Amino acid sequence: MKKHLITGLFAALALSASAQSFKEWIDPEVNAVNRAPMHTNYFAYESADAATRGLKEQSSRFMTLNGTWKFFWVKDADARPTDFWRVGYNDKG
């Protein structure tokens, strides 16, 4: 009796182990399974009329980050410029 029970248990374990074929965890291109697409659509308009129109670009509170950016990489944080935010900062170097 014990032999049949152990054999049946091993057979059930073998069948359940081979039934799963989820390989998403191997693929680095997959970062989510069964998830809705990420998005956000929040904006604080200056008035109810502006919110009704729904044109963020025409709002006084809209600022685009598109454009040319300048980066200054340093190996050590102590070598970073500390006054880069000033109006007269020389960013030529």
Q: CA-CA distance, 83 to 72, in Å (whole number)? A: 13
In one-letter notation, the amino acid at residue 89 is Y
3-state secondary structure of 3: helix
Quick one: the chain helix, strand, coil %, rounded to 5? 30, 0, 70
- Give 44-92 pLDDT, tens digit per residue: 999 999 999 999 999 999 999 999 888 888 899 898 888 888 898 888 8
Domain edges within the chain: 2-29+38-79
| pLDDT band with cut points at 50, 70 and 90 for residue 31 | confident
